[in-house]
Amino acid sequence: MKIRTLFTAFFLSVISIAARAGDHDPEGAVLGKFNSAHEFSRLTPELIKSSAESIISESRESLKKIYGIPSASRSYENTLLALDDMYNTMYNTNGYIYLMANCHPDAAVREEALRAVEQLDKFGNEIGLDEQLYRSVKEFASSKSARSLTGYKKKFLEETVRDFERNGFALSSEKRKELKQLQDKLSELGLTFSNNIAEYEDFLTVEEKDMDGCPEDFKRSRLQPDGKYKIDLSYPSYSGFMKSSTSDEARKALFMKYNNRAADKNLTVLNDILIHRQKMADLLGYKTYAAYVVEDRMVKTPTTVWNFEKSLLKKVKTKAAADYKELLDTKRKYLKDQTVNVINPWEASFYNNILLKEKYQVDQEKVKEYFELNTVTEGLFQIAQHLFGVQFVPIQNPSVWQKDVRAFEVRQGEKVIGRFYFDLHPRQNKFNHAACFPIIRGKETSNGYQIPVATLLCNFPQATENSPALMYHSLGSASVETFFHEFGHVLHNMLTTSPLYSYAGTSVARDFVEAPSQIFENWCWDYDALKLFAKHYKTGEVLPKALFDKMLAAKNVGSGIAASYQIFYGMLDMSLHDGFDPNGKETTTDVVKRLQAEVVPYAFVEGTHFQAAFGHLNGYAAGYYGYLWSEVYAADMFSVFEKNGVMDQKTGKKYRDSILAKGGTEDPLDLVRQFLGREPNDEAFLKSLGL
C-alpha cells in the first residue's frame, strides 16, 4: 500500500476508489448512488472543480476522526480500516477526474481535470507527510491487538508504517517541509511532462509517390483536398506508413518527427524531474532515486535490476545479431546490392514487413483481414468468459464522455461484479497509447462489496465508409495482441475480491503488475483460441491453419531485437535514476546515445530525442525493468495452461483465484508459487523468445 501515490504516473498507479458515493459529488451528478453507473455525460468543469475541493474537505474530516481516537482505544477498524476507507472514498473522485484529463473531448473539461489532479496529488503528498496520521498508525502498531494481526491485515499495517517512514518520518519537521515542496514540484513537473506529450501535434505532408506500397484504405483515409497526404503521429498512422511506404526519404522524415515529439519542451522538464527526484533521494538518505523506488518491490535493490538486465542482454545478443543479419539480407535482396551493410532505424519496419512476406509468407495486410475489431472483441470476451466463469453484458445507452464509448457489466450469474468502458479510437488530445485506467477498485464496505470500474483507452483503427476496422495481429500498439494485453489489466481489476481498496486489482508490487496482462497475450498465439474469432471480414472464413502456422513460424522474427529494445528502455530508465547527474555535462540524449550503442543493433540518429515522449520515465521512474521482470513470471504461469489446455476452465479458475482475485493481499512471489505448485524459473520466457 502506498501512503502517497503519484496520480501523474501511468495508468497502473492511478488510485481511484469509493466506499460511499455522492457525499463529495454535488447532487450525485457524476457518481450517483453506491455501485451505480457514473453519469459522465453530465460532467462539467465546474463539477470537477467542486468535486475535488469537497473530497479534500471531506477527507480532512475523516483524518481528524482518526487523529482523535485515544491511544488506548485504537483498533484495526478505527485506525487502519478507517484510513483505507478514507483513501477509498477520496480516490473515487480522482479516478474519474484523472480519466477525463486524458480523454475528454472538451478542452475546458480536460484543463480543469488537470488542475484538479494536481490539487489532489498535492493533497496526497500532504497525507504522506502527515505527522498526526503517522503517530496514530504507530500508536496502533505498538498495541497488543496490532501484534496479533495476521494475513492481509498484518501486511497492510507493516506496509503502511514502512511507507510513512519511507516518506521521511525519520526527518526533522523542517526537512519534511522541504520534502513536501519537492514532492509538490514533482507532481507539477510530472503533469506537465505527460500533458506536453498528449497535446503535441505534428504531421508529415507527402506526395502521391511517397504513398507507394501503402494499402488503399490507409491512403484514402489520409488524402487531402489538394491531392497530398497527411501522416499524423498517432501510432496507427506512424506504424502503417513506416511499414509500407517505399519512400526511404519520407520514412526518415516521419521517423525524425516521431522521435522528437514534445522535445521542444520536455527535455528541460525531464531534466528538472531528474534533479528533483535526486534531491528527494538525498533528503531521504538514499544513494539514488532508484534505490528509493525499488526498495519495496520484488527486486529490492538496483543491483538486482542491473544484474537482471545485463544477464538477459547476454542471452539475447546472439538472437538480436541473427535478427539484424536477416533484415540486412532482406535489404540487400530488395536493393539488389550485396555491398549494403547497415539497416537504419527508419528502415526496420519496412524490411521486416518484406521479410515476413517473402521468407515467411506472412503478409500483415492479408492477416489483418481476419481480425476485424468487433469480431476480435467478441472473441476476447468469449475466451475470458469461458476461462473465468463470467459474462460481459453491454449496457444499453450508457452515460459516456464521447459517443463512441461503450460500457459493459461483468456478471457472475445474475450478480453484477464489475463494470468497464471501452474508448478505443484515436482523436485529438486523447491519451495516445493503450492503457487500462482504473476508476473504482473493489472493496468490502458496510453497503456490501463495492464493484470495480475501469476504462480501456486505446487508439485502434476506426471503421470508415470504405473499410472496416481491421487490426494487425501483433504489430504495434494498435494490435490484437495489445488488446488482449490491456484487457488482462481490466480482468485483474474486475475479478478482485480484496477486502481492502489498497490491495484490490492492480494494487500489487509494481514489478509484478504487468504479469496478468502479459499472460493474456498468449491466447492470441493459440489456434484453438484464435479460431473462435479470427474470421475473414468479407467471407467469414476462419483463419486457415496453414496461415496460422506461418504466423507462428514468424512469431520470433526480430524477437532478439525486440527484447534488446526492452532491455534498452529498462537500462535507460535505471541509468537516469541510478547515478546520472542531471546537473553534469552529460545530457539525457548523451545517455540515450551511449546505451543505444551498447544494447541495440540500430545506430542512434543524431537530432532525435525520443526520451522527451517516453512517458514511462514519468510514470515508471526506475521501474520500467518491471515489464521484462514480470514477463518471466507471466510466461512461467502460462506454461501451466499449455500443459493443461489453454481453454481449460479448471486452470482458469485456479489462476483467477490464486492471482487475479487476491491482488496485493499476499506477496506476489507467494501467489505465483501457489499457482505453479513450484518455484518459478525463466525457461518458458526464454523459449518464448526463440532462445
H-state helical runs in 645-681 = 649-655, 668-676
Q: Is 254 exposed, middle or buried (0-12, 13-18, 19+ CB in 10 A)?
A: buried
C-alpha–C-alpha distance, residues 385 and 132, integer Å: 47
- 233 three-state secondary structure: coil
DSSP 8-state assignment for residue 451: P
Query: Strand (E) positions, 425-533?
Result: 435-440, 443-445, 448-450, 453-457
> What is the four-CA torsion angle of 433, 439, 444, 450, rounded to 10 degrees?
-120
Respond yes or no: is residue 61 known to be catalytic: no
- The residue type found at 78 is N
Q: Is 73 exposed, middle or buried (0-12, 13-18, 19+ CB in 10 A)?
A: exposed
Q: From the candidates 126, 159, 369, 486, give the one annotated as an active-site residue.
A: 486
C-alpha–C-alpha distance, residues 202 and 204, integer Å: 7
Contacts with 217 (C-beta within 8 Å, 6 or more apart), sequence order: 464, 466, 467, 470
Q: Which of 275, 281, 279 is nearest to 293 (CA)?
A: 281
- Give yes or no for a contact between 438 and 16, defined as CB atoms under 8 angstroms apart: yes
C-alpha–C-alpha distance, residues 476 and 548, integer Å: 19
Q: Which of 618, 604, 611 is nearest to 267 (CA)?
A: 611
Can you give 123-151 as a three-state secondary structure string? Answer: HHHHHHCCHHHHHHHHHHHCCHHHHCCCH
Contacts with 80 (C-beta within 8 Å, 6 or more apart), sequence order: 137, 140, 153, 156, 157, 160
- Give yes or no for a contact between 640 and 675, defined as CB atoms under 8 angstroms apart: yes
Which residue bears the cell 481511484? 16
C-alpha–C-alpha distance, residues 495 and 505, integer Å: 7
- Give yes or no for a contact between 290 and 625, defined as CB atoms under 8 angstroms apart: no
Residues facing residue 435 across a β-bridge: 457
Q: Which of 259, 335, 180, 324 is nearest to 613 (CA)?
A: 259
52 is written with which cell numbers? 475535488
Any idea which residues carry the catalytic annotation?
486
